[in-house]
Chains A and B, each alone.
Chain A
Amino acid sequence: MVIRIYPRKALWFCTAALSLFLMSCGASTEFYTTVEQDVSQGRYDKAIEGVRSNRSAYGDKSSVLFNLDMGVLYHYAGEPDSSNKYLFLAEKEIEDLYTKSISLAALSFVLNDNVLPYDGEDFERVLVNVFLALNYAEKNQPDEALVEARKVDLKLREYAKQYEGKNKYQEDAFIRYIAGALYESGDEVNDAFISYRKAYETYRTYLKEYGTPAPSFLLDDLVRTATLLSFTEETKKYLALGGKPFDRKSRSDGSVLVIMYAGKGPIKEEIRPTVSIPDSAGILHTFQIALPKFVPRFRGQRSYQVAVRSNADSTRTVGARTEVVQNVTAIASKALDDRLAMLYLKSGGRAVLKFLAAEKAKSSLSKDGDSKAKNVLGSLAIDLFVGVTEQADVRTWRTLPAEFQMARVNLPKGDYRMTVVSSDGAYTLRDVDVRVRPAKTSFIIVDDVR
């Protein structure tokens, strides 16, 4: 009796283990190497094709990532309509995934988080709206861009509630600044001033948490808008902080806002810390758990020199150096840290469950009284199952840039040619046509995601 039951049990166990194991594996990411090479050389069409033709590698649990990758690649390629299409798909899917499957959640407690559909880290979800806003700004649809900026606010407020206000990323200074520029461009100087001021305050948190100070031109923007609104106290305050005085004669000047994507965004890698938990008898059991951790791929120290030359008078050139206004790597790492405490608990709990189940399976093996060889094999199989199924979820929006940098140049209306050169000399963008209109901002987006 006993001899006949054992093989059937083992067969069932192996089949179940294999299928569950396959389900719990992360998606293959080898095609990314080629995609990233194409992106770093500006071959966006090739990169887009590379992602599209590898749709199956994302599987059915990471279709959000597919849409995020397509969305940002089209954004780099300067195709805002296609970019918006994919970003909206990602946003809708993330929203639908709020409805979580109980059975999948239960399975993730037994196996790992790779069985769950990926619905983005908080900062990734917010970046969807940031890129949507920039797409609309590029299409000269400032009202729609501002709708997206408002959505950023709504989302961050919602996430802060989930962390009971204890998380780091509660306001986005970059999108506040963009909103300020959009309002000012639409002649809503009061709203612009309020946004610029909020951005300035948020950069204080940014400096503390991510090492990103407010860009130097923000003080000038505050002085300018405060002067236009005749806010004398505010004007004095920001002048004292270092802003340039604003000459009302240049009221009809426009501006060029250059947004630069620099460097490759971070990726997640698995770390396997050991954790020791005492059982009810006081005996210490030590396990390995698997956790994700962000690893930077760009160490910074690269800036860009922007030169804008008048078509009417080629001797007239105005220059500006870009400044870091958003450190995606730093924000990502801190956001994951905030989530880690919860992950650690879940991972630790899962390890305990697996250990207990493994011990029980091993003890019922030896109870069957079979040959020692079969017992050892069975034991090894169980340990293997426990070991390989403990896998960190290292899925992430890999096609993001490491940093957003920005330069602002205020100029009289007219037609200009712009050139951008990186500080390491490896990137040059020559003679881009720019039209400056009175009291309006032209948004120019440049990518050097390398």
Chain B
Amino acid sequence: MIAIVLIGLYGCGPSKTVTRVEPEQQIDLSGDWNDTDSRLVAEEMIKDVLSRPWVGEFRGDKKRTPDVIVGTVKNRSSEHIPTIPFIKNLEKELINSGRVNFVANKEERTEVREERADQQENASAESMKRFQQEAGADFMLRGDITTIIDQEGGDKVKYYQVNLELVNIESNRKVWIGEKKIKKFVSQSGTKL
């Protein structure tokens, strides 16, 4: 009897603690895509795209800085990845680079952008022209995110692949294609006492 009471008391106590952390600190809880992934991928990929020859070629050709707009990043994965924060990260990196003119996409929400694009009967070409006319952009950055999951019992290996491309709106030609992979290992114990 006494033993039971002691165990009961031991079980009581604070069950929640709060610790303040820096916004940039990497914290991986569930193994899902998180804000660290979003930030790191955006930084790396924008650094990559802006270091390529197309910027210089455009400047030499048109004698001005290119105007870039960020289009849709489609979630083609098996996880509910919030694409809007990722797009915002891409936009931030573009603006802060100072190497291109960032053109804001008037349709802030991805769903609205897709909705507008789909209203046309011939979606891609029409919406592209519209982006150019409305925003006066020279290039559009867009892409998708896919996942490959490999699972054995409680162990899971997740690959996220972010594919982006930069398209010259006038010529409809791709001037840059980039790809970034993230790999995560998530392990869940199969037994406990």
Chain A residues engaging chain B, CB cutoff 8 angstroms: 95, 98-103, 140-141, 143-144, 146-147, 150-151, 153-154, 158, 186-187, 251-252, 438-440
Q: Is B63 among interface residues, defined by CB-CB distance under 8 A?
A: no
Which 7 residue pairs spanning A and B have beta carbons closest together? A150-B78, A187-B123, A143-B75, A151-B78, A102-B191, A99-B189, A147-B80
B77 at the interface (CB under 8 A from A): yes
* Docked complex Cα distance between A98 and B188 (Å): 8
User: Which residue of chain A has its CB nearest to the CB of B81?
Assistant: A147
Check if B121 sits within 8 Å of A147, measured CB to CB. no
Whether A144 pairs with B189 at a CB distance below 8 angstroms is no
> Are A99 and B191 neighbours in the complex by a CB distance under 8 Å?
yes
Interface membership of chain B positions 163-193, coded 1 if the CB is closer than 8 angstroms to chain A and 0 otherwise: 0000000000000000000000000111111
Q: Which residues of A contact B118 (CB under 8 A)?
A: 186-187, 439-440
A-B contact pairs, 18 of them (CB 8 A): A98-B154, A99-B189, A99-B190, A101-B193, A103-B193, A143-B74, A144-B75, A144-B80, A147-B77, A147-B79, A150-B77, A150-B78, A154-B149, A158-B151, A187-B123, A252-B121, A438-B121, A440-B118
* B111: interface (CB < 8 Å): yes
Known: A99-B189, A144-B80, A154-B78. 5 other contacts (CB 8 A): A101-B191, A103-B193, A141-B111, A150-B77, A187-B123
A346 CB, min distance to chain B CBs, angstroms: 17
Q: How many residues of B contact A (CB 8 A)?
A: 21
- Kindly state the separation between the CA atoms of A143 and B193 in the bound complex, as whole angstroms: 40
A-B contact count (CB 8 A): 50
Question: Is the CB–CB distance between A98 and B151 below 8 Å?
Answer: no
Secondary structure call for the A interface: helix
**In the complex, are the beta carbons of A147 and B75 less than 8 A apart?**
yes
Mask, B85-125, CB within 8 Å of A = 1, is: 00000000000000000000000000100100010010100
A379 to chain B, nearest CB (A): 31
B190 contact set on A, CB distance < 8 A: 98-100
B191: A residues at CB distance < 8 A: 99-102
Count chain A CB atoms within 10 A of each CB in B79, B118, B154, B193 and give the residue with the most: B118
A2 to B190, CA, bound (A): 46
Check A102 against B192 for contact (C-beta < 8 Å): yes
Bitwise, B62-85 to A at CB < 8 A (1) or not (0) is: 000000000000111111100000
Chain B residues, CB < 8 A from A438? 121
CB distance from A179 to the nearest CB of B (A): 12
Contacts of A150 in B (CB 8 A): 77-78
A187 to B116, CA, bound (A): 13
Q: How far is the CA of A104 from the CA of B193 in the complex (A)?
A: 8
User: Complex formed: what's the CA distance from A119 to B192 in Å?
Assistant: 16
In the bound complex, how far is the Cα of B78 from the Cα of A153, in angstroms?
9
Within the complex, what minimum Cβ distance (angstroms) separates B186 from chain A? 11
Q: Which residues from A are CB-within-8-Å of B80?
A: 144, 147
**A98-B79 Cα distance, complex, nearest whole Å:** 19
Contacts of B75 in A (CB 8 A): 143-144, 147
Determine the residue in chain A with the shortest Cβ distance to B72: A143
Residues in B with CB closer than 8 Å to A100 are 190-192
List A contacts of B189 (CB < 8 A): 99
Closest-CB distance, B98 to chain A (whole angstroms): 33
Q: How far is the CB of B127 from chain A (nearest CB, A)?
A: 10
Tell me the nearest residue of chain A to B118, going by C-beta: A187
Q: How many Å lie between the Cα of A141 and that of B75 in the bound state? A: 11
B86 to chain A, nearest CB (A): 13
Contacts of A151 in B (CB 8 A): 78
Distance between A385 CB and nearest chain B CB, rounded to angstroms = 24
